[in-house]
Amino acid sequence: MNIKHIDVGYSGVIQVVILRITYMSMVNYSYMVLDHINNQAIIVDPAWDMEKIEQTLEDTGTVLRGILLTHSHPDHIHLARPLAEKYHCPIWMSNEEIEDSGFSAPQLVGIDKTPWSVGQIQIEPIFTPGHTPGGMCYLIGNSLFTGDTLFIEGCGLCPDIQSAHDMFESIEYLKNRLKPETLIFPGHSYGRPPGQMFSYVLKNNIYLQFNNKNDFTAYRLRKGQNKVSFFDFK
C-alpha cells in the first residue's frame, strides 16, 4: 500500500493512501484520507475497484465516513453511489457541478466554498471550473486533491474558449493560494507519481507558465487535442 504521511498541524496523524486503479487501458488515482484518532476515512473520486477500497479500509482499521467528488465524469464517480449506500455516508460535490451534470444520489450533499471537518480531517473546497463548470479541488492539510483540474505535467481538457478562460483563472487562483510545499494529488498521472510538491509543478508544468488568458487558451485548445473523451487529459 502506498501511504503518504501528511502534516496537517493537528496533534493526530492524518495519512493519504494513494489508490492506483485501472479499467481497461485507463489509469485513475483515487485517494483515501485517514484520521487515525477517530479511525475513520474519506475517499476522493472512487472508481472501478471496490475490492481495493474495501481492503484498504480493512488494512487501515478505518470506517468510511464520506466521499469527495472533484467532478462528475464517469471515471471519478463510478463507485460513489455504491459506497455511500454500503457505508451510509455522504457524497460531496459542488452545487454547480450537480446542476450542470444532473448527478444525483440519495446521499448527495451539494457544497459551496465553506470548509468543514470530518473528525480530524479539515476540508477546504477550492472552486476550480474549467475542465467542467463545477470542478472542485480539495485542500486537506498540506495536500491538494485536484481531480482533472491540475495534473503534475498538464491540466484537464477544456471543451471551449470560455472553459479554457475559466481554467486559466482557476490555475491563477491555485498559484496564489497554494504554498510551494503543498502536495499535489491529481486524478491521473502518467509521468511523475502523485504527491509532488507544488513547487515542482509550478516549475515543470507548461500550463502554469502562461501569464495571459489568451495565450493559455490558444495553447489549451490547440489542434490535435481530443476534446471529446473524458479520459484524455494531457
For Fe ion, which is the closer residue by CB, 47 or 118?
A: 47
Write down the least CB distance from residue 148 to Fe ion, Å: 4
**Minimum Å distance from CB 33 to Fe ion?**
20
Instruction: Give me the least distance between CB of 137 and Fe ion, in Å please.
Output: 13
Q: Where are the beta strands (DSSP E) in 24-163?
A: 26-35, 40-44, 63-68, 91-94, 108-111, 116-118, 121-127, 136-140, 143-147
Count other C-beta atoms under 10 Å from residue 135's C-beta.
Answer: 30
When the beta carbons of 86 and 234 are compared against Fe ion, the nearer one is 234
Distance of closest approach, residue 158 Cβ to Fe ion, in angstroms: 11
Nearer residue to Fe ion within complex by CB, 203 or 227: 227
Q: Which helix (H) or strand (E) holds 20?
A: strand 14-23
> Least distance to Fe ion from the beta carbon of 16, Å?
21
CA angle 115, 71, 226 (to 5 degrees): 145
- Tell me whether residue 33 or residue 69 sits nearer to Fe ion (CB atom): 69
Q: How far apart are the first and last CA of the chain?
A: 27
Residue 194: partners with Cβ closer than 8 Å, 6 or more residues away: 18, 29, 31, 152, 184, 185, 186
Positions that interact with Fe ion (CB under 5 A): 73, 148
Provide the pairing of β-strand 63-68 with 40-44.
Answer: parallel
| Angle in degrees, CA 83, 88, 92, rounded to 5 | 70
- Closer residue to Fe ion, CB minimum distance, 73 or 78: 73
Burial of 77 (0-12, 13-18, 19+ CB in 10 A): buried
Which residue's CB is nearer to Fe ion, number 8 or number 77?
A: 77
| 8-state DSSP, 227 | S
Number of Cβ within a 10 Å radius of residue 228 = 8
Rounded least distance, CB 74 to Fe ion, Å: 9
When the beta carbons of 14 and 155 are compared against Fe ion, the nearer one is 155
**Smallest distance from the beta carbon of 157 to Fe ion, in angstroms?**
8
